[in-house]
Chains A and B, each alone.
Chain A
Amino acid sequence: MAAAAIALYRSSIGKKAVMAITGIIGYGFVIMHMVGNLKMFEGRDGFNHYAEFLRTVGEPAVPERTLLWIIRIVLLVAVTAHVTAAIQLTRQGVAGRPTGYRVKRRVQANFASLTLRWGGLALVLFLIYHLAHFTFGVAHHDFVRADPYHNVVSAFSNPAIVGVYLIAVAALAMHLFHGVWSMFQTLGLNRPSTDRLWRGLAVISALGLFAGFATVPLSVLGGLIR
């Protein structure tokens, strides 16, 4: 089995399968994250209790933060594998065409699919900033470790930071607009009869996640959350 998995990973399709599976993990995470963000509308206590719940979930069966760290490690491994396979496949694709065309016109490809790699790079850079901003607090001007609600409100009172977050969630939406359908295609789970379903899921995911993620920063900026 291990030998088969290594042989599979050596092929371009194996690397793509890794991208698809790690993509599903990331996709699941961003949906949970977006839903969790909406707890901001429950006010300071609601949101801070939710943050506390994430740290203590699983207690007393397992010590505090155990599940949190398991999820963090799974996500870190998934992101690392996703990026590694992406870099390897990009290099293979670049090597596939050492000399480009002088004139190249696209026939049907959309912006989201053609910019998937650049969007992915933008998301990695945003991820580093986002962790430094709200998790480690080093990129936050007024970070209070025990009060995530305050951290969110004080950050998004600044229109420039809201702008950065909106651009980032737009990049995420674009990534998933192509990526969600792509996961099913790559794993061989797409058939002519399911194509519209997975395309539709990708569009709904992109729009839904953009709307869900954009709501909180815009609500803070607009004074709805204070």
Chain B
Amino acid sequence: MNLTLQVWRQPASAANGRFVTYQVRDVSPDMSFLEMLDVLNQQLILAGDEPIAFDHDCREGICGSCGMVIDGIAHGGQRATTACQLHMRHFKDGDQLTLEPWRASAFPIVKDLVVDRGAFDRIIQAGGYVSVSTGGVPDANAIPVPKESADRAMDAAACIGCGACVAACPNASAMLFTGAKVAHLGVLPQGQVERSRRVLAMVAQMDEEGFGGCTNIGECAAVCPKEIKLDVIAQLNRDLLRASLR
């Protein structure tokens, strides 16, 4: 199949960007979206042009590196799918696609489709951890964890920090990400000691980074490749209000 891509090209953070139109020919339906971009980049390199910069690492949908807004939807239109796991069979010959980076003041553009998601790292640094004693490996089941808590923590821990929630939110809010991290640790016994401190510090950092507030619209959860649910945001709200008012 042949595709027309309109891609955001921006040489550097401080430089002005613009959309550039590219034709990609003979795209196999078995390629992933990133492989299709690899083919385009090969064409660009052979022609002596600068290849399109995009983030990627594992290409297995588990690392959270890749991500771009494909025709208006973060990671493209397939539910629970990262851009690297999005296959070209979902597109058809002659499609015109617009590729844009995540747009948020907290995610400055590094180059083309690559954004700096250091804001997420700083939110994690603010409290997204549990302090444990060093020493030998603890015995299994030394701390009993209710099955329901383990399941909820596991669901929240599926977050790969790709930033699609921020990209899709009309307010560029990071509540789904922060909620996932707070819920993941907050529902486990190991996370109780720092529970209040954690939520206060992480929300303060989230606001500090310049993310918008949540308006409960739910676009974040709808585009999340790991299907993190909105209930982590309710948990975040609950924990923050409780920690603030006690």
For B221, the closest partner residue in chain A by CB is A108
Complex interface: chain A residues within 8 A of B105 (CB): 95-98
A97 pairs with B212, CB closer than 8 A: yes
Taking the closest CB of chain B, its distance from the CB of A112, in whole angstroms, is 10
**In whole angstroms, what is the CA distance A95 to B71 when docked?**
23
Indicate whether B94 reaches chain A with its CB closer than 8 angstroms.
Answer: no
**Cross-interface CB contact of B216 among A4, A95, A182, A192, cutoff 8 Å:** A182
**In whole angstroms, what is the CA distance A93 to B118 when docked?**
19
**Cross-interface CB contact of A13 among B6, B77, B240, cutoff 8 Å:** B240
Taking the closest CB of chain B, its distance from the CB of A161, in whole angstroms, is 32
Indicate whether A135 reaches chain B with its CB closer than 8 angstroms.
Answer: no
User: How many interface contacts (CB-CB < 8 Å) are there between A and B?
Assistant: 150
B77, B215, B217: residue with the most chain A Cβ atoms closer than 10 Å: B215
Please, how many residues of chain A have a CB less than 8 angstroms from a CB on the other chain? 48
**Cross-interface CB contact of A109 among B69, B172, B218, cutoff 8 Å:** B218
The A166-197 residues at the B interface (CB cut-off 8 A) are 178, 181-182, 184-192, 195
Indicate whether A70 reaches chain B with its CB closer than 8 angstroms.
Answer: no
**In whole angstroms, what is the CA distance A185 to B222 when docked?**
17
A97 pairs with B104, CB closer than 8 A: yes
B73 pairs with A105, CB closer than 8 A: yes
**Cross-interface CB contact of B234 among A104, A178, A185, cutoff 8 Å:** A185
Q: A95-B210, A103-B100 are in contact. Are A4 and B170 (CB under 8 A)?
A: no
The B85-119 residues at the A interface (CB cut-off 8 A) are 98, 100, 103-106
The B218-246 residues at the A interface (CB cut-off 8 A) are 218-219, 222-223, 229-231, 233-242, 244-245
**In whole angstroms, what is the CA distance A184 to B113 when docked?**
37
A98, A102, A178: residue with the most chain B Cβ atoms closer than 10 Å: A102
Q: A14-22, A36-44, A61-69: which one contacts chain B?
A: A14-22
**In whole angstroms, what is the CA distance A10 to B240 when docked?**
12
Q: A108-B222, A181-B216 are in contact. Are A187 and B173 (CB under 8 A)?
A: no
A96 pairs with B72, CB closer than 8 A: no
**In whole angstroms, what is the CA distance A14 to B72 when docked?**
31
Indicate whether A158 reaches chain B with its CB closer than 8 angstroms.
Answer: no
B237 pairs with A187, CB closer than 8 A: yes
- Chain A interface (Cβ within 8 Å of chain B)? 1, 4-5, 7-8, 10-17, 89, 92-109, 113-114, 116, 178, 181-182, 184-192, 195
Q: Pick the 3 closest A-B CB pairs, nearest first.
A: A188-B238, A93-B171, A96-B212
30 contacts between A and B (CB under 8 A): A8-B240, A11-B244, A12-B173, A12-B207, A13-B203, A15-B213, A16-B213, A16-B214, A92-B207, A93-B212, A96-B104, A96-B210, A97-B212, A101-B69, A103-B69, A104-B69, A105-B77, A107-B73, A108-B219, A114-B170, A116-B215, A178-B216, A181-B216, A185-B230, A185-B234, A187-B238, A188-B238, A188-B242, A189-B234, A192-B229
